[in-house]
Amino acid sequence: MSQMGRFVSLNAVAETLTGDIGGAINPVANNIDVLGGTNIGTVGTIGTITINLDNTITLTTVNATTFDTNVAAAAVTLSGTTLLADGSDADIDINITAKGAGQVIIDDLQLTTDLAVTEGGTGVSTMLDHGLLVGAGVAAVTSLDVGGTGVILTGVAGADPAWTTATYPATAAIGTILIASGANVITTLAPDTAGYVLTDGGAGVAPSWQANADMAWNTEAGATVAMAVNNAYINQAAGLTTFTLPAAAAIGSLITVCGQGAGGFKIAQNAAQEIQVGDSVSTNGIGGYIASTNQYDVVSLVCRETDSTWQAISFIGILDVA
């Protein structure tokens, strides 16, 4: 028979088979010793030697070292589940280290090619530092350029999202609103006085908080009252009450005086001011005025020219224009 590359005559000498390794020639006994070993079963009868591998192979003697094996030539399965369909899927370097009888450690699993998106990977080896990843179907993921300080990401139908050109504040306090204070510069507008409203500043001007155009009503019983824009006054004094126009007023500012007290009311002017009632105009400056002639006369005025000219937009009774 042939054993380990040698021809041995059964009639001349005996061969000792120990496990799966051929032993030395036995010069004494004219026989063959049939010995089993780890993972190998042996049976000997006259003229017949049977050597069988065990149904379960137990690894007992793997050198305590690490070696690499390249899985690329055939399918790879684990517990009946196919991990790689064939060797074309990927090249994988696996380190296998002996741990003890019947045990090994498989670690340091490294792909030598990029794992495709269809296999649960990204399809790329490197990512843009600080970039955002964007899917591309089954193709490799892509990286968006890093956005500038304060810009935000916006959606684009059918395309990759994009960074805005405008910049936005990093924080915003309670009650603030976002406005464009300049071209592509979004800032916050802080709250102002309670009751103020946001007013359009016109083309090219940021909006601002302004006093509510609705009239604030006041009751007055004194002899003199300095009026404020966008305020209405109910005169309750028993004697004459002199109301003086606001020294500063924007076009469109309103004031109203409603008579109730028996003394009536008079609306006096500051320097360079005048009041127009219908076709009549008061004397310009401090000397001019309009006055009620009946207890319950009412007049509403609007500022027609900044700071200076007021005009009656409605009145009840006959007013004295001087």
Average pLDDT score over residue span 264-290? 96
Q: Which residue has the higher pLDDT, 163 or 17?
A: 163
Q: What percentage of residues in the chain have a pLDDT greater than 70? A: 68
Give pLDDT tens digits for 153-206.
Answer: 999 998 999 999 999 999 999 989 999 888 889 999 998 887 778 888 788 888
Could you tell me which residues come within 8 angstroms of residue 192 by beta carbon, excluding any fewer than 6 positions away?
A: 209
Provide the pLDDT for residue 231: 92
Percent of the chain whose predicted confidence (pLDDT) is above 90: 36
Neighbours of 51 (CB within 10 A): 14
Report pLDDT digits (tens) over 63-120: 444 444 444 444 555 555 555 554 444 455 555 555 555 555 555 556 677 888 888 8
Write the pLDDT tens digit of every residue in 20-76: 444 443 444 455 666 666 677 777 766 667 777 776 666 554 444 444 444 444 455
> Do residues 166 and 186 lie in contact, with contact meaning Cβ atoms separated by under 8 Å?
yes
Residue with the bigger pLDDT between 296 and 198: it is 296
Domains of the chain: 2-53 (no CATH), 66-111 (no CATH), 177-210 (no CATH), 216-321 (2.60.120.640)
Query: How far apart are the C-alpha atoms of 32 and 47, rounded to whole Å?
Result: 10
pLDDT of residue 97: 56
233 CB-contact burial (10 Å; exposed 0-12 / middle 13-18 / buried 19+): buried
pLDDT score of 263 more than 50 = yes
All residues at 6 or more sequence positions from 244 whose CB lies less than 8 Å from its CB, including other chains: 224, 225, 226, 227, 267, 268, 269, 270
- pTM recorded for the entire structure: 0.41
CA distance 159 to 165: 17
Instruction: Specify the pLDDT at position 291.
Output: 97
Q: Are 242 and 266 in contact (CB under 8 A)?
A: yes
Chain centroid to CA 17: how far? 74
What pLDDT score does 208 carry? 85
pLDDT of res. 132 = 86
